[in-house]
Chains A and B, each alone.
Chain A
Amino acid sequence: GAGVSQSPRYKVAKRGQDVALRCDPISGHVSLFWYQQALGQGPEFLTYFQNEAQLDKSGLPSDRFFAERPEGSVSTLKIQRTQQEDSAVYLCASSLVVDEQFFGPGTRLTVL
């Protein structure tokens, strides 16, 4: 079956613009995670959903970051008033409730 998909794959934004990143998890996967990966670093946790409920958002770096999963499937990560330090690869992963996490290809965000 289809894996986790993310769009867009690449996004260039001018500083101050708002961006929206989309994640389509594997069908039937209850859990969805967002991670941020800076260049040369391992991914770091941003937020976690179980179905439509956002159970943990402790990793969001500022109130400019907002995530939603209104119907318990597709998720959107929104970044308002982007800054240069937001430049990174944003990875989405999904899993059954307690299981192996499967990752999408990521969205590479560059803020100029």
Chain B
Amino acid sequence: KQEVTQIPAALSVPEGENLVLNCSFTDSAIYNLQWFRQDPGKGLTSLLLIQSSQREQTSGRLNASLDKSSGRSTLYIAASQPGDSATYLCAALNSGNTPLVFGKGTRLSVIA
């Protein structure tokens, strides 16, 4: 059974700092891995999706990497801004017709 863990649970950084959020998964036979952002009281916004054959994906100041052999993914946020404050969730998809398995998220606060 796939299990996803995110460390740290919470993180507070000053504005402008580069930061890394970590995600680990127990079953390396994943189909893809998604990173989401969730603002308080809101739904999930997809940030990046990495297919199992890919090593990384980039969108603006965000870069997500995937290492299937070690069961790890990281989300790198460059030059953080207060508007980046949110909860970041990673989720693994094991095959096409299966549900996403989520971590508990990392709550990020960027202090101006």
Contacts and interface: CB of A to CB of B under 8 A. Distances in A.
Contact of B43 (A42, A50, A59, A104): A104
Nearest to A98: B96
A87 to B, nearest CB: 14
Interface residues on A, range: 20 to 34
Contacts of A41: 104
B69 interface: no
Label chain A's interface by main secondary structure. Answer: strand
B104 A97 contact: no
B100 A101 contact: yes
Interface string A75-99: 0000000000000000101000110
B25 interface: no
A42 B104 contact: yes
Contacts of A65: none
A48 B96 contact: no
B43 A103 contact: yes
A6 B44 CA distance: 13
26 contacts: A33-B99, A40-B104, A41-B104, A42-B103, A43-B89, A44-B102, A45-B99, A45-B100, A48-B98, A48-B99, A50-B97, A56-B97, A56-B98, A91-B43, A93-B100, A98-B96, A98-B97, A100-B46, A101-B34, A101-B46, A101-B100, A103-B36, A103-B44, A103-B45, A104-B43, A105-B42
